[in-house]
Every structure is written in structure tokens, then in C-alpha cells.
Amino acid sequence: MPKTELAAQGAPGHEPRTGHLRPVIEYLLAQGNRPAYSWHADGWRTDSGGELHYAFTDPIDAAQLREHFAFPASILLDDAGTIRDEVNRVDIYHQQPARLFSFEVPATDS
């Protein structure tokens, strides 16, 4: 099966910073993964530095994405499944559950 080629920049007719990553998002949604920021209409969250983030509730299988998509050099996919587009300052990742700080962990009697 041929891989889906991803563009390095936004696709015509789509939001220029994120449209080229839409096939990846649609693929992950079709696999049953859900957006972590469901209160945002398009799933994207902007941080205070202007970067865009799309987080999923479940882990992302990097090997499966590599089999299905051809990523351009400007889009990095690490083994944890995080997709980082440095040019457009956007990323797609698995939202890890928050971990407690050591002072928040209940003390145990030893």
C-alpha cells in the first residue's frame, strides 16, 4: 500500500499552519483516538508563545504512522509518537496523565 505523502506546509484551502497535518489527525481519529482538548472546536490549543498543540487521549503508535505516511524532513516523528513541525510551530502528541509531585503523594507508614 502506498504511503500518504504529507506536505511540508499547509494544504490549499486549509489553515496554513495545520492543514497539511489534517490527514494524520483524521487517521488517528479513525483509529479510535480522541482529542484531549475536546472543548476546542477544531481540537487545536494555542499556548502563550503562539505554538499550536493537538493532543490525543491515547498513545500514538509511531511505527503505524511511519507505515501509513511519508513525512517530509521538516516534520519530525519520534518513537513516542510525537509529531513536531518546527517550521509551523505545531505538534501532535499523546497527552500524558498528570503525575503527582512528591509532596502530593500520600505518606505511607514504613
- Higher-confidence position of 12 and 65: 65
Number of helices (H) and strands (E), helices first, in the chain? 2, 7
Predicted pLDDT at 103: 72
Tens-digit pLDDT profile for residues 23-58: 999 999 999 999 987 766 778 888 999 999 999 999
Q: Is the pLDDT of residue 8 over 90?
A: no
Check residue 78 and give its pLDDT: 96
Contact at 8 Å (CB) between 79 and 59? Answer: no
Q: Residue 69's beta-bridge partner residues?
A: 4
Residue ranges covered by each domain of the chain: 4-97
pTM for the full predicted model: 0.80
- Closest by CA to 89, choosing from 9, 34, 28, is 9
SS3 45: strand
Three-state DSSP at 103 gives helix
Position 99 pLDDT exceeds 70:
no
Element (H, E) at 67: helix 62-68
18 contacts 8 by C-beta, under 8 angstroms: no
- For residue 66, pLDDT over 70 is answered with yes
